[in-house]
Chain A
Amino acid sequence: MTDLLSLTIHEAHDLLKGRQLTSAELTRAYLENIERVEPRIKAFVTVTGDLALQQAAEADHVLAGGGGGPLTGVPALIKDVICTKGVRTTCSSKMLENLVPPYDADVMERLKSRGMVLLGKSNMDEFAMGSSTENSAFFTTHNPWDEARVPGGSSGGSAAAVAAGETVYALGSDTGGSIRQPAGFCSVVGMKPTYGRVSRYGLVAFASSLDQIGPLTRDVTDCALVMNAIAGYDRRDSTSVPGPVPDYTQALLPDIRGIRLGVPGEYFVEGMQPEVAAAIEAAIKKMEELGAKVEREVSLPSTPYALAVYYIIAPSEASANLARYDGVKYGFSYQGASMWDSMEKTREYGFGPEVKRRIMLGTYALSAGYYDAYYLKAQKVRTLIRREFDRAFEKYDALITPTSPTVPFKIGEKVDDPLQMYLSDVCTMPVNIAGLPAISIPAGFVDGLPIGLQIIGKPFSEETILKIAYAYEQATEWHKRRPKI
């Protein structure tokens, strides 16, 4: 019998379309596996079993009539930062523990209209702030490759569930690496689209100039299929970019002869695990064998400043976005002695330590007397980082880097040192600062722990990076490995 828990979207679709499998059977297999592994993995904040079976029945009806597309009847998991009408959306925060959104995010409308089956909502770092899911107010998600280690974050629940056979695919959000870093840590495919490619309507805001929604999948073809569904203009997001969306599956040709790849030396940072660097070197060599022209002269000298730029801009935007949590319209509400007392204590008890730390940091960076020295300065260095990428893309079609400097770290290893934790996103943050698309794909293992390879493209060149990722994937076997759980 086919292992239903390892199926990609396109494999599941072939079986569904051929009536060798029903969505109800597929959905039940996933719900049973969720019940089996969740006590150890803890990827779900909410499981929507009844809803999933109802949607599966509807999908089966459509499929029986000869209708339905690639996603129809295929079970999915949505990060708990994306609003789902009638389904609790918590951001893994006490502040929103009981929030039931009255509307769907744009991506949810798009997936529902394509016959999605919603298995539930995935655990994350509170308000997407973190790199390990240890900042979830509820529980930490465990890495399916080694349960003593983190799955990465903030979309750690989504990545772990895809790897652990708890869903066929998932959506995450990426502000500084929150899709790509967990994808790398769990050996799945994760893409952050170009800023403006996917609507942020209904995505609970963290840092509005950096946030993007994107897919986490078992292979590159699935990534293209989900991108086809979620990308596109939405008038409700003023940063949504108008214009046609290509059929991303058209880019999936395993031919990268003549493609120019740059390898920026600045991404092989001090403190990088030698085995990770070696695996990336091997992947680069593989791409050369496939006919890509690899050059190492590319230089992005402002890279060492990206961390500081990110940790000024993201908390500044967060401190403004999170001002809305005042205990009045929705969310946790503490009734104190007065209006101000109620508001201050609502925020004191509703937010966890990392969220408070970032609100404090952002408020400081935006406050009178410090705005020019921190926020404005960071915005100017942001310009320099963008310009360096622009110049690099005059010569190269894409850039190749590690996704993270290390393999997944142990649970508890970095919780007491925020700066060490921030460093695990050092290779992914510059991409958000410049608004570029990037993908992380499986590129090997060290002692059974996954390594991710990052491919960065120029704005709106998702097709190019999908093509490179696809060619590499077809020439390797890493994406076929599954953790034993």
Chain B
Amino acid sequence: MKLSREEVLHIARLARLALTEEEVDRFREQLSNILENFEILRQVDTTGVPPTAQSIALQTVMRDDEVTLSLPPEDILANAPRREGDCFRVRAVLE
């Protein structure tokens, strides 16, 4: 099964990733090969086997909701590509 051009573009859109024409072709080829390799899992009988999301026994870890110091706004905004006052500046969502 080879991924179609449309499928590659659909996945890229879900991932918000712009791709060049060359990348679309390359990913079609490479992703199809890798996915074909995953077919090996069909051989495994997993009837009644529960999924493992992580490997340790901890579940729903809770902690007290304590008031503590957090980072100053200036530190948080220091790496912002675009800022306005104490806010991150973003592009208009609705145009």
Q: Which residue of A lies closest to B7 (CB)?
A: A364
B41 and A356 form a contact (CB under 8 A): no
A348 and B18 form a contact (CB under 8 A): yes
A379 and B51 contact, Cβ closer than 8 Å, known pairs A330-B79, A347-B18:
yes
A339 and B92 form a contact (CB under 8 A): yes
In B54-95, the 8 Å CB interface with A consists of 54-56, 58, 61, 63, 71, 75-76, 78-82, 88, 90-93, 95
Q: Which residue of A lies closest to B39 (CB)?
A: A308
Stretch in contact with the other chain, from A32-40, A96-104, A136-144, A250-258: A96-104
Is A220 interfacial (CB 8 A cutoff)?
no
User: With a CB–CB cut-off of 8 A, which chain B residues contact A194?
Assistant: 56
B79 and A374 form a contact (CB under 8 A): no
A377 and B46 contact, Cβ closer than 8 Å, known pairs A238-B61, A360-B27:
yes
Give the complex CA separation of A343 and B92 in angstroms: 12
Is A402 interfacial (CB 8 A cutoff)?
no
A378 and B41 contact, Cβ closer than 8 Å, known pairs A209-B55, A339-B90, A348-B17:
yes
A435 and B56 form a contact (CB under 8 A): yes
User: With a CB–CB cut-off of 8 A, which chain A residues contact B53?
Assistant: 209, 379
User: With a CB–CB cut-off of 8 A, which chain B residues contact A345?
Assistant: 18
A383 and B30 contact, Cβ closer than 8 Å, known pairs A302-B44, A342-B91, A363-B11:
no
Give the complex CA separation of A364 and B51 in angstroms: 19
User: With a CB–CB cut-off of 8 A, which chain B residues contact A360?
Assistant: 8, 11-12, 15, 17, 27, 31
A384 and B44 form a contact (CB under 8 A): yes
User: With a CB–CB cut-off of 8 A, which chain B residues contact A364?
Assistant: 11, 31, 35
A434 and B55 form a contact (CB under 8 A): yes
A338 and B95 form a contact (CB under 8 A): yes
Give the complex CA separation of A377 and B4 in angstroms: 23
Q: Which residue of A lies closest to B89 (CB)?
A: A328
User: With a CB–CB cut-off of 8 A, which chain A residues contact B55?
Assistant: 195, 209, 386, 433-436, 459
In B21-48, the 8 Å CB interface with A consists of 23, 27, 30-31, 33-35, 37-38, 40-41, 44, 46
A339 and B79 contact, Cβ closer than 8 Å, known pairs A348-B18, A381-B41, A435-B55:
no
Sorting the interface of chain B by its residue count into under 10, 10 to 19, 20 to 34 or 35 or more gives 35 or more
A374 and B38 form a contact (CB under 8 A): yes
User: With a CB–CB cut-off of 8 A, which chain A residues contact B80?
Assistant: 328-330
User: With a CB–CB cut-off of 8 A, which chain A residues contact B23?
Assistant: 353, 356
Q: Which residue of B lies closest to A327 (CB)?
A: B81
Is A461 interfacial (CB 8 A cutoff)?
no
Task: Name the residue among A311, A338, A374, A380 with the largest chain B CB count within 10 angstroms.
Answer: A380
Is A304 interfacial (CB 8 A cutoff)?
yes
Q: Which residue of B lies closest to A363 (CB)?
A: B15
A380 and B50 form a contact (CB under 8 A): yes
User: With a CB–CB cut-off of 8 A, which chain B residues contact A99?
Assistant: 79
User: With a CB–CB cut-off of 8 A, which chain A residues contact B12?
Assistant: 360
User: With a CB–CB cut-off of 8 A, which chain A residues contact B95?
Assistant: 338-339
A195 and B40 form a contact (CB under 8 A): no
Q: Which of A241, A359, A377 sits near B17, CB closer than 8 Å?
A: A359
B63 and A195 form a contact (CB under 8 A): no
Q: Mask for A175-212, Cβ within 8 A of B = 1, else 0?
A: 00000000000000000001110000000000001000
Chain A nearest CB, measured from B54 CB (Å): 4
A residues adjacent to B (C-beta < 8 A): 98-100, 102-103, 194-196, 209, 235, 238-239, 241, 302, 304-305, 307-309, 311-312, 319, 323, 326-333, 338-345, 347-348, 351, 353, 356-357, 359-361, 363-364, 367, 374, 376-384, 386, 418-419, 433-436, 459
B residues adjacent to A (C-beta < 8 A): 8, 11-12, 14-20, 23, 27, 30-31, 33-35, 37-38, 40-41, 44, 46, 49-56, 58, 61, 63, 71, 75-76, 78-82, 88, 90-93, 95
Supply 30 A–B pairs (Cβ within 8 Å), ascending by A: A100-B78, A102-B78, A195-B54, A195-B55, A209-B53, A239-B58, A308-B37, A323-B16, A327-B81, A328-B80, A333-B82, A338-B95, A339-B91, A341-B18, A344-B18, A345-B18, A347-B17, A347-B18, A348-B18, A353-B23, A356-B27, A359-B17, A363-B11, A364-B31, A364-B35, A380-B52, A383-B50, A386-B52, A418-B30, A435-B55
The 10 A-B residue pairs with the shortest CB-CB distance, nearest first, are A435-B55, A333-B81, A379-B51, A330-B79, A102-B75, A339-B91, A380-B46, A344-B18, A348-B18, A209-B54
